[in-house]
Chain A
């Protein structure tokens, strides 16, 4: 870990400006991802701007019946919030499927969206990795890729966005609210928030340098049965091989997003439309352009089988 300086900002705009104008600066929230990466010198910020004093730690009702979640709301608090449990159960289930109790106490909403990939080569600074060092090459493509992405990947990088919470947020059509260094605010739909790697896998989101997440907004509840099935090698404290967030309506329509398969939570409206036709039809549409490796090709049939299980449970009214 390199040495760094530290400050606490008093307003989102001030924080954004501080990060934009200080060479090598980054935000820090719960620190559960950033500090780990700093210890390994995968991240080497020279200055940290803490977002904890910005008053962004509330979950509020919005006028349209939705929710507005402050970026500093912890994963624990968000998943336990009565309205989230009641109206957005897929989100509660997704959050609780992630990490561990201690980590969820520290992990924040904004930090969770921005957690970085768990590719083993990204974590080993002796190995070539385009994401860590643009132009360096990718050790994973012909290597240990079982956990990595099957779609939306590129010849530069096949890593995934590894998180759970964002998969549910994508299914719920959440919107990320930000403030830029010049003080202007904008709203980025979850669909556009994470980028595909292309040939710049080190650029992971739509955020501009210094742009700070202030809130995540959830539209009014959509009803239906809520499912989050995270398939992993052990029962807790492991990243998804594949996860499926789904909201299924009584008439069989609904929405579905897949985690653990791509640089972003993977959802398409065309695939959603296939829900009444069953899991195979959805997965055929959603994964039409998949480019798996030999080691992770199983993720596509696994996605189909996981969704099929959800649809079967939806019919009988049991939740997985």
Chain B
């Protein structure tokens, strides 16, 4: 089915199941331990052996030798696949640094061996006996040093653009802001580590793994292992978080496959946590410059956003300018993304890649501009809210946008009018209190998505698609969609996900998953409805499906009478969408208290008012948004991969050193959805929310800290050592 024109009125406008808060249908499995993660799938292959990945001890250079003798003789060891004895694996379109690269080391903790043994403990112990000697190479690890010479991004030309005459308009503007911001490298730090069980059957390989994008990964694994992807099955039904870190095949899958081949047995690998931070991908650090020129009434006349980041290939940086063409009006505009070459581990997608750091800079710059203008920061954003066309892409129409409503409603609900007008003016005892606001924009792309629906002769509906549920609630919204479309109770629907044997879906990434995959299931259900209509002799497209009956012109058919049927289809998205920017919008608010003595920041309240079209399941959507807000709080206050610029690695590579927020950091969060519909998005008029929640709250926190203390820190995270000397003097 092709979605080739904006959706008119359809069955979802009368929905009974879609759009209603629905507890996750996989919830009982999750809380009773019956939704196994990859490493817990003891039953999928008999005789599993355990693999332990050895990571490189240097960042750049060459392996001189690996002494494997003691490890090979260690108890329980079945096989060792080592970089000195095995050719490098090939590359794929989905990873920049080789996942197993022979003697050349291209980043710290890159996989250089896998030890396979009878038990996990034996594999780990034997790995400790491998002695590796290296010839150290020179690497580039200091973004601040190389950024000034970094070229403009060449891989994505759209990353840089100028409209009008930015420099002159900025120079002429009566009110100007020109500031620089930095954001650090960040880790996904998802709960479940990378994990895979791999098993060979002749030329066929099965990997039970933890992955967001089944088809990408099947194809990538084929390229990497130089084998026909049709001989590969990827299965990933339950995933303990990914945040973009599991969009791609990683070394756990590759080394499990190589280990299983060498051991002639299924091999299981769960990556040890201390390896996760340097072996895996991460969010790239950025250095940003914002220049905004405005009239005295607040209207922006010039907006320039320049960004510098680095990556191992010198391409594919963190595009922190992504939201800037979309959010605010202004006739003269400049966008520039520079990417330097760095020998740190591979930077790649992490929840709202580009937009998270972009909002941390842009939305603080707007706060600073509001102060220069003597304007309320909510009003400044509303004055510059884009109308009709995308400001930075004047040929692109806006599908449906309610940012002003988000901000107004948020301000009302949050009690914004009580915000201290002057910074550092509200103090109670040792506490300085303040409020901050930020706008949020995140694109809502859609991608082709397929599904198969099977109606059994017992009246059950089974949905099969390689879509994944990374903790987001995909199982539930797909069941809701199928139940709604077929007019069956939710309890009759079973959803099977994550298996490459199922039709290819959009997968989970870029907040496209929910909108695309529900549209795909809708397409398959429409095909099934037509099969039923054909069999029972009615026009399914004209009929209403409800309560197990199809009704048309006063006549009814029990759909179960059609017997067992299977339908498969995909939703594709037509050319007309290219004329539109389909985005999601939010007004984010935060309140903090800062200890005037120590500078410790406590977030006391957070609110997000979101505009994201039809909300398929308000319960799981809320979880997505507040999860994003937690991550944004981490980005604002604590999360920071510390680069050791001599050794070229992230030094704090465990969960004690890399501090994500804990419960005590996040006392009170609220999330409100506007009742909007976006007919350009999908037939369900729905958009994703998984990344909207992280776009903006960090800046709202930073702005609240400024409001509380009068201190502006532009280098994230905002740890107290960066402003201790600017806190009020102590008696």
Contact = CB atoms under 8 A, between A and B. Distances in A.
A127 interface: yes
A226 B621 CA distance: 46
B158 interface: no
A123 B654 contact: yes
B535 interface: no
B128 A235 contact: no
Interface in B637-651: 637-638, 642, 644, 646-647, 651
A23 interface: no
A305 B642 contact: no
Given A1-B125, A123-B654, A234-B661, A312 B430 contact: yes
Contact of B652 (A144, A236, A306, A318): A144
Interface in B706-727: 717, 719-721, 724-725, 727
Given A3-B125, A41-B128, A144-B644, A236 B653 contact: no
A139 interface: yes
A41 B274 CA distance: 13
B600 interface: yes
Contacts of A198: none
A139 B121 CA distance: 29
B730 A308 contact: yes
B664 interface: yes
A302 B597 CA distance: 8
A101 B642 CA distance: 28
A234 B659 contact: yes
Contacts of B731: 308, 312
A147 to B, nearest CB: 8
B651 A301 contact: no
Contacts of B725: 301
A305 B598 contact: yes
Contacts of B646: 142-143
Contacts of A219: none
Contacts of A106: none
Contacts of B730: 279, 304-305, 308-309
Contacts of B664: 234-236
A124 B59 CA distance: 14
A40 B75 CA distance: 19
A143 B727 CA distance: 27
Contact of A144 (B651, B663, B721): B651
A305 B662 contact: no
Given A234-B637, A234-B661, A298 B721 contact: yes
Question: What interface size band does chain A fall in?
Answer: 35 or more
A235 B429 contact: no
Nearest to B272: A39
A116 interface: no
A257 B495 CA distance: 59
Contacts of B469: none
A126 interface: yes
A143 B654 contact: no
A313 B128 CA distance: 52
Main secondary structure of the interface of B (DSSP, over half): loop
Nearest to A121: B651
Nearest to B127: A41
B674 to A, nearest CB: 32
Interface in A143-167: 143-144, 146
Nearest to B721: A298
Given A234-B659, A234-B662, A302 B724 contact: yes
B656 interface: yes
B602 A235 contact: yes
A279 B598 CA distance: 13
Interface string A34-73: 0000011100000000000000000000000000000000
A231 interface: yes
B720 A124 contact: no
A126 B278 CA distance: 13
A251 interface: no
A295 to B, nearest CB: 8
Contact of B721 (A235, A302, A316): A302
Nearest to B602: A235
A40 B651 contact: no
Contacts of B600: 231-232
B57 interface: yes
A301 B724 contact: yes
B400 interface: no
Nearest to A229: B598
Contacts of B644: 139, 143-144
Nearest to B55: A126
A126 B663 contact: no
Given A144-B642, A231-B598, 13 more contacts: A1-B121, A2-B125, A40-B274, A143-B651, A231-B720, A234-B637, A234-B664, A235-B665, A279-B730, A301-B725, A312-B430, A312-B731, A313-B430
19 contacts: A1-B128, A118-B657, A120-B657, A126-B58, A142-B646, A231-B600, A234-B659, A234-B662, A235-B602, A236-B664, A238-B656, A239-B656, A301-B725, A302-B598, A302-B599, A304-B730, A305-B597, A308-B730, A313-B430
Interface of A: 1-3, 39-41, 118, 120-121, 123-124, 126-127, 139, 142-144, 146, 229, 231-239, 241, 279, 298, 301-302, 304-306, 308-309, 312-313, 316, 318, 320
Closest A-B pairs by Cβ, 4 of them: A309-B597, A126-B57, A235-B664, A298-B721
Interface of B: 57-58, 75, 121, 124-125, 128, 274, 429-430, 595, 597-600, 602, 637-638, 642, 644, 646-647, 651-654, 656-657, 659, 661-665, 717, 719-721, 724-725, 727, 730-731
